[in-house]
Structure 1
Amino acid sequence: MQYISELYNRGNYHQIISLEKQLDPHPTLLQYLSSSYANLGLFDEAIAILEDLLEKSHESSNISSIKANLAQLLLNKGKLAQAEKLALDAFNSSRDSLSKKSIISGILGNIYSKKGKYQQANSYYNQALPELNNSPKLHVLNNLITTQKLWIEELTQDIQWARLWNDKINDKTVAELSQQINKINQEHQKAVEQSLALSETLQGVDFLRTQILLKEQSKFSKNQLFLKVKELPLSLSKGELYLQLGRPQFALEVARKTQNKRLLSFALGALGKEFKAKGNLPRASTLFLEAQQTAMQIGAWDSLYLWQWESAKISLQQKDKEKALSSYINALKTLDRLRPELAEIRQQGQFTQDIEPLYLEALELGLQQAQSSTDLLKLKEILQQYQIALVENYFNAPCPLDLDSFNTLETGQAFVYFVSLPEQTYVILELPENNLSHYKLDLTQSELQKLATQWRSELKFEITEDYRKTANILYEKLISPLENQLAKNKIKTLFIQPSGVLQNLPFAALMSGETYLIEKFQLAFSLGLGQSNSIKIADTGKIFGLSTSSKADDVNWPDLPGVLQEVQQIQFLTNMEITINDSFTYENLLNSVSEEESISFLHLATHGRFGGNAEQSYLLTYDQKLSLSELETLLLKNNLPLNLLVLSGCETAVGNDRTILGMGGLSIRTGTNNVISTLWRVGDTDSADLTPHFYRFYQQEYPPIEALRKAQLAMLQSDNQHPYDWAGYVLLVP
């Protein structure tokens, strides 16, 4: 035992692994073995050892320690759901000392930080700190500091969106969000001071990690820190510190001496980026290739895709666009291997900085190069993969889909894919029988953002018609380039996949002269992952409404007196039972759907929000909030996929440019064929006018897409002609 401990402390991980078959199956020795594999980047082997040990150690006194270590390894692999379950089990069942339980709290903090649940992470870190000392305390402090920075970034982004749409985000005003940021900033500064002070007493690796993390507050220059790292004994940590300091050549030397291929792949790639920055593209290209080969040897896909991506950029600089596109596609294939792990990670910046740009760069190059329907079919596949990645990022969970099972377009239908890029907006038009074409639109991303924001603002003022001019400009930019093809092919139905700010755009109210787009076409938003609009009679359904305030929330939501009229009219039209106000409880809603009794539609008239991710999204019942995951569970209880879900609330889809992912993703994950919701706070009297029109047509066996169009056209012929009263209603299909 002591010999293995000494080998481990000296970093002789390969030697410990070479003794694996000779080791006694003692839990402590096996944990040393597992950690040795982990320190060499061989996480699968490390996890397998602890899983086997856990299975054989049901009555072991250190079972909570095994669970905690396994949770940390699963976290390193990105398997956050499994890691969370194990860590919570360890935390709740631990009979260890407070200091050991605090280590588990720290692991839970790491898990929730990675999941983007910064408030929960902050809470667990603060639970851990009082009982920890020295290195463990410093590690938790540094993780807390990083999490607080990410939390502040997220709240700052929320403020930007709240100002953009003149609205609340997650039920908080700009002033409330600013106040929250100030409080976190104060706590952040205290944590920084504690961390710097503690690191001074520890020196070594812990000291240097802290000084590099807090380099802006450190009294040491980058070069001084580099010289201190050079003095450290050979170890994996030394190589990682070199990388953090931007010294990949030295990290490369450590990787080779320690035979750590994971570190080697990252060091080679980082060195390649240095040569690329200096303009030495041939040398950079060679290093990126070596980094890829090394990563492939150990299945380090999170390293491999980065260097395939860099190879694509090199080829692009060398004007070899065909080779660049091939490298982009290889990088996306590698990224697809990581989908189960990446789906669980929603740390601020992880997706938008490290993943999403890869899809967008590949799409941009592909659109520039596309010359045939075959080329565009390949781009359509990338778009589908991108949408799946967006949905998984939104729900923080994998979304298994078969790309070959998606429905094909029928005669009279067309699919319009918008791709908004910084310098250019593109549109791909798909007609039946895989007939694809693409167009470069006269719009940059910033111009589109400005126009869309202006139009949304104009639509709010129902006493003016200022919106008409901007509605015509947007029609001219977005739809006019497609008109000849749409007319030639006698298209009557448009499935629209919006991009970025277009997700908050009421396409139905775009205008060509005096004619609205909804007067020309049936419209639905779609994620491009299969659409289903078969005619089904709404013979069985459930109707819920909340016209009074809810006891579930501290937000001062206004009453919705029009809801009572709305659900009573729907009851009259459908002959279905309604559940209203204090009967519309959380429990009654969950019990309303069962495997024994299938329903074809569910109507929920209540307040709710679809925010920037699933955690920020909910509906209100009379007594408590219904989370998006709980709504998903409810819909999955139905014996058959639901044909129609109507969320007739005041702001069931307001938030940011990814709220459509909530509704569309819900449709995909539950098999629901059609989801109707709103893009803004539709007045509840307007809702009481439009939804009965919709159900009147739906009961006449019109599919939802046609029933909604007819309802909106009926509103155009009524006293509620202004688009703010009817255009906010959108239909989403998968």
Structure 2
Amino acid sequence: QTAIALRSLGDALRFVGDLNQSRTALTSSLAMAQQLQREDLVHTAQLSLANTLQAQEDDDSALILYRTLAQTASQEIQVQALSNQFTVLMNRGQVADARALWSTLQTQFSSLSPSQPALFARITVIQQLIRLGVANTPSRSEQAEQLAIAIQQAQAIGDVRSESYGIGTLGLLYETTGQWGEAQSLSEQALTLAQSMNATDIGYLWQWQLGRIYKALGDRARTPQLKQQHFQKATSAYSDAVDSLQQLRTDLVAVNAQVQVSFQDSVEPIHRELVSLLLDPTRNDTTPDDIEKARIVIESLQLAELDNFFREACLDTESVDIDQLDAKAAVVYPIMLRDRLEVVVSFPNHDLKHYTTPVPRETVETLVDQLRQHLTLRISNRFRPGMARMYDWLIRPMLPDLDANQVETLVFVLDGALRNIPMAALYDSGAKTFLVESFSIAVTPGLQLVNPQPIQEQNLAVLTGALSEARQGFSALPNVVPEVEQIQSTVPAQVLLNEEFTEESFQSALQSNAEPIVHLATHGKFSSNKDETFLLTWDGQLSINALNDVLQVSTLNQSGPIELLVLSACQTATGDKEAALGLAGMAVRAGARSTVATLWQVNDEATALLMEQLYEELSSRQVSKAEALRQAQLRILHDPQFRNHPYYWAPFILVGNWL
């Protein structure tokens, strides 16, 4: 019983994305099954462990187990192992090796008694072939024949889920070959079956498929009326798919482990394709409602990405009206699409607008990679041409509207790789100025996650945790001491320095005091992997969850959450395109209303001066947090010793509430 329970736990942990714990549980399950000398338990544990290894991208180890099972296990497990082995080989581009398995798979499929695992294995193999464009060995007709057999067997045993999966996949095959009528009919049948049993986890696939089919029909329509009809059907189908994914977000129990929802393969493309459809420049009749729908979908994508980062639906959201929040702020939603860059902007007291630039996503991401390197070369101005191009794409088209609406603050809801460069350093080559010289700037993962309150009028006080000495393989931060001293000279501050800054002492200080600002001057790293995102203390590392737990102690002992969390010596992981997602995740999960953090580790002296100015602004003037950070950045920007270079001031970003 314990071996079975551990295997079930390992499968559940794999599904929610806790792969290391899944591997541990399944390894224990396998060891226990081997001790009991129960071959059936050994084989099921090996299959589950191989699936987790595959999810961890440890393909070589997974293939060893799959090949072992294909020789030794029961026929039902053999076919699952062969199917998964086939998928791994196809994903690795080892098409010849995968095709060599085809005859073995055919034999297994034909001799196996119908069951849901066997049917799903058969259908998944064919689905993999379709998506990778394999048209021979096996041929399209052979693929269709295998799906027809699976559908018949599913009907014979009354397995509606497998029947829907098979019919929908047959619809995918017809979509691939451009047989739109058959593809539409089959997709509708599959969706009806999925909905009849509330199988949202596969139903969204057929809604997405119908969206693509209707769009293709619209692109081929000969009359404007027919084109519009297909557009409306496509939009409706895509919207239904997004709604289904949101339902799955809060109902993970409903998801069948055999049809896991992949963010990269399904969630992200569905959202992007719907935005592309709503804002399609070739239609020439985009309505304000279309733009508002696109904005909502972009917000939904941001939320889904954070859920994927945390591997759980843990974020509370609420609708926020920007007009009531800040009448001088514009919220900017850039979204990178396959063939273009769209920027949706919410201006105060006006309808949304969108601006289209014909720059493919790949081009934008390549430039971001280059800029991230150039911005950290402090003796070079190689960043300027690239930041000027980015300014021309993101800002210049909306400049007249920004002026007309007297906008003072730009709040960016950034998409993907764009999070890795500071918007403050976008460069106007005509005026020869940086964006921060004209606007206060903030970043938020979405308006739904903003706690819409300005900083409370109270005597500012700071709880500071700081490390100046080298610890745990991280270098010393000698300028942390003057940074802390300057904070103390500006605002009242309690300081935990070096050996005083432990997780226990930090938590104790939060419990006994009610400082509205927490300032952590310590090494930290932001990564697209939640488990590799942390802050350093004297005696260990604070993970995102641990930081959240510690800060919640403070929240429980105050009238409200921490106003401002400052992380002054952190950096995003080198070479990790989605690393800034960890920064956003840290900011959101910490529970503070606002977070100031850095995209890269900054010169110590510049950091100390910037922090001194930030607290001076917050304590002596009635300004927003975004404006306080702007003034602090301008001080460094205009200081001759820092040569006007963004390396010293631009990586400081304000995440969350900018008021």
State how far apart, in whole Å, the 2-side matches of 1:611 and 1:207 are. 38
Aligned residue runs from structure 1 range 429-508, under 5 A:
429-508=345-424
Question: Hey, what does 1:231 align to over in structure 2?
Answer: 111
The residue type equivalent to 1:197 in the other structure is Q
State how far apart, in whole Å, the 2-side matches of 1:474 and 1:220 are. 48
Question: Hey, what does 2:23 align to over in structure 1?
Answer: 122
State how far apart, in whole Å, the 2-side matches of 1:669 and 1:477 are. 31
The residue type equivalent to 1:379 in the other structure is A
Q: Deviations over 1:587-622 (max 9, x none)?
A: 01122223x743311101100112103222110110
2:306, 2:581 within 8 Å by CA — same for their partners in 1? yes
TM-score under structure 1 normalisation? 0.76
The structural deviation recorded for 1:349 is 8.3
Question: Hey, what does 2:134 align to over in structure 1?
Answer: none
State how far apart, in whole Å, the 2-side matches of 1:464 and 1:731 are. 26
2:463 to 542, 556, 565: 542
The structural deviation recorded for 1:557 is 0.9
Question: Hey, what does 2:496 align to over in structure 1?
Answer: 579
Where 1:398 maps in the other structure, the secondary structure is coil
The structural deviation recorded for 1:103 is 2.7
The structural deviation recorded for 1:125 is 2.7
1:641 to 557, 561, 579: 561
State how far apart, in whole Å, the 2-side matches of 1:452 and 1:579 are. 37
Aligned residue runs from structure 1 range 270-669, under 5 A:
270-319=169-218, 320-341=230-251, 350-368=262-280, 371-408=286-323, 409-513=325-429, 514-530=432-448, 531=450, 532=452, 534-537=454-457, 539-550=460-471, 553=472, 556-594=473-511, 597-637=513-553, 638=555, 639=558, 640-651=560-571, 656-669=576-589
2:30, 2:42 within 8 Å by CA — same for their partners in 1? yes
Aligned residue runs from structure 1 range 134-149, under 5 A:
134-149=39-54
The residue type equivalent to 1:335 in the other structure is L
Question: Hey, what does 2:604 align to over in structure 1?
Answer: 684
Question: Hey, what does 1:47 align to over in structure 2?
Answer: none
Q: Deviations over 1:682-701 (max 9, x none)?
A: 12232112111111111114
Question: Hey, what does 2:130 align to over in structure 1?
Answer: none
2:83, 2:122 within 8 Å by CA — same for their partners in 1? no
The structural deviation recorded for 1:402 is 4.3
Question: Hey, what does 1:728 align to over in structure 2?
Answer: 651
Aligned residue runs from structure 1 range 71-86, under 5 A:
none
State how far apart, in whole Å, the 1-side matches of 2:159 and 2:48 are. 25
State how far apart, in whole Å, the 1-side matches of 2:192 and 2:63 are. 43
1:583, 1:622 within 8 Å by CA — same for their partners in 2? yes
The structural deviation recorded for 1:382 is 1.3
TM-score under structure 2 normalisation? 0.85
Question: Hey, what does 2:81 align to over in structure 1?
Answer: 210
Where 1:578 maps in the other structure, the secondary structure is strand
1:239, 1:250 within 8 Å by CA — same for their partners in 2? no
2:119, 2:150 within 8 Å by CA — same for their partners in 1? yes
Where 1:355 maps in the other structure, the secondary structure is helix
> CA RMSD of the aligned region, Å?
2.6
Where 1:693 maps in the other structure, the secondary structure is helix
The residue type equivalent to 1:276 in the other structure is E
Where 1:279 maps in the other structure, the secondary structure is coil
State how far apart, in whole Å, the 1-side matches of 2:372 and 2:124 are. 44
1:135, 1:206 within 8 Å by CA — same for their partners in 2? no
State how far apart, in whole Å, the 2-side matches of 1:652 and 1:212 are. 38
Over 3 Å counting, the alpha-carbon distance change for 1:421 and 1:607 in structure 2 is: same
The structural deviation recorded for 1:400 is 4.7
Q: Which runs of 5+ in 1 are unaligned?
A: 1-99, 153-183
The residue type equivalent to 2:19 in the other structure is Y
Over 3 Å counting, the alpha-carbon distance change for 1:225 and 1:667 in structure 2 is: closer
The residue type equivalent to 1:101 in the other structure is T
Over 3 Å counting, the alpha-carbon distance change for 1:257 and 1:423 in structure 2 is: same
Q: Deviations over 1:557-587 (max 9, x none)?
A: 1100111111111011112221100000110
Where 1:688 maps in the other structure, the secondary structure is helix
Over 3 Å counting, the alpha-carbon distance change for 1:109 and 1:481 in structure 2 is: same
State how far apart, in whole Å, the 2-side matches of 1:461 and 1:405 are. 39
The residue type equivalent to 2:81 in the other structure is T
Over 3 Å counting, the alpha-carbon distance change for 1:383 and 1:447 in structure 2 is: same
Where 1:104 maps in the other structure, the secondary structure is helix
1:610, 1:659 within 8 Å by CA — same for their partners in 2? yes
Where 2:655 maps in the other structure, the secondary structure is strand
Q: Deviations over 1:52-72 (max 9, x none)?
A: xxxxxxxxxxxxxxxxxxxxx
Question: Hey, what does 1:716 align to over in structure 2?
Answer: 637
Question: Hey, what does 1:695 align to over in structure 2?
Answer: 615
State how far apart, in whole Å, the 2-side matches of 1:653 and 1:525 are. 19
1:194 to 63, 68, 73: 68
The structural deviation recorded for 1:335 is 1.6
Over 3 Å counting, the alpha-carbon distance change for 1:730 and 1:186 in structure 2 is: same
Q: Deviations over 1:302-345 (max 9, x none)?
A: 11111111111110110122210111111111222111245999
Over 3 Å counting, the alpha-carbon distance change for 1:406 and 1:398 in structure 2 is: farther
State how far apart, in whole Å, the 1-side matches of 2:117 and 2:528 are. 36
State how far apart, in whole Å, the 2-side matches of 1:187 and 1:527 are. 37
1:686, 1:725 within 8 Å by CA — same for their partners in 2? yes
1:306, 1:331 within 8 Å by CA — same for their partners in 2? yes
Where 2:49 maps in the other structure, the secondary structure is helix
Task: Give % identity.
Answer: 27
Of 110-119 and 453-462, more deviation after overlay is shown by 110-119
State how far apart, in whole Å, the 2-side matches of 1:587 and 1:261 are. 54
Q: Deviations over 1:459-480 (max 9, x none)?
A: 2222222222222222222211
Where 2:393 maps in the other structure, the secondary structure is helix
The residue type equivalent to 2:446 in the other structure is G
The residue type equivalent to 1:472 in the other structure is A
1:115, 1:396 within 8 Å by CA — same for their partners in 2? yes
State how far apart, in whole Å, the 2-side matches of 1:356 and 1:428 are. 18
Over 3 Å counting, the alpha-carbon distance change for 1:434 and 1:264 in structure 2 is: farther
Q: Deviations over 1:610-644 (max 9, x none)?
A: 21032221101100111101111222221312211
Where 2:510 maps in the other structure, the secondary structure is coil
State how far apart, in whole Å, the 2-side matches of 1:126 and 1:136 are. 12
The residue type equivalent to 1:117 in the other structure is D
State how far apart, in whole Å, the 2-side matches of 1:592 and 1:673 are. 19
Q: Deviations over 1:503-556 (max 9, x none)?
A: 011111121132111001000112222544624345233111111123xx4xx2
1:498, 1:525 within 8 Å by CA — same for their partners in 2? yes
State how far apart, in whole Å, the 2-side matches of 1:295 and 1:698 are. 55
The structural deviation recorded for 1:399 is 3.4
